């Protein structure tokens, strides 16, 4: 089941890089959210994408948007990735792949690996409605950050 603009964003709870549970509705707490699913920490395109987000955090902060990166990596791996890349936003581990599946952002086969998150972006409004949804089948592409910005500005 795909998640589209206008749908209510599924609530979920995942572990952050400290192993602490983060329940998304409570975390957003009336703010907009940008959920960025990405395949694997330390891979070149994922590093490029998330460092671009890191370098543009002033924009997301000015739009009162909380950025959350989600991958199927363990929270231990994500902790090292966050530290190595000096990422200034929350990373969550979907190690059991439940949230990626809920958001229809899971590859059946990713270079021979089963159950890797697709590169995807979802803007969640203050009312918990999806304002933007983009799921990419080609992991070499990055989300349309111009469209994401426009959705966050609405």
Token couple for 106: 């899971």
Name which of 135, 125, 103 is nearest 34 in CA terms: 125
89/82 Cα distance (integer angstroms): 9
- Residue 44: exposure state from Cβ atoms within 10 A (0-12, 13-18, ≥19): exposed
The one catalytic residue among 40, 46, 123, 130: 46
Q: Is 51 a catalytic residue?
A: no
133/139 Cα distance (integer angstroms): 16
Residue appearing with tokens 């111009």: 146
CB 36 within 8 A of CB 105: no
List, by residue number, the catalytic residues: 46
């Amino acid at each position: 089941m795909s998640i589209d603009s206008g749908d209510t964003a599924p609530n979920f709870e995942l572990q952050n890089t400290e192993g602490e549970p983060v329940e998304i509705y409570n975390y957003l707490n009336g703010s907009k959210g940008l959920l960025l699913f990405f395949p694997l920490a330390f891979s070149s395109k994922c590093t490029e994408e998330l460092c671009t987000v890191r370098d543009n955090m002033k924009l997301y902060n000015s739009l009162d948007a909380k950025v959350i990166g989600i991958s199927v990596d363990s929270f231990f791996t994500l902790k090292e990735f966050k530290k190595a890349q000096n990422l200034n936003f929350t990373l969550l581990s979907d190690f059991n792949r439940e949230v990626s599946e809920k958001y229809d952002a899971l590859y059946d086969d990713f270079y021979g690996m089963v159950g890797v998150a697709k590169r995807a972006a979802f803007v969640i409004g203050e009312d918990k409605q999806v304002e933007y949804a983009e799921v990419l089948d080609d992991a070499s592409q990055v989300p349309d950050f111009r469209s994401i910005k426009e959705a966050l500005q609405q």
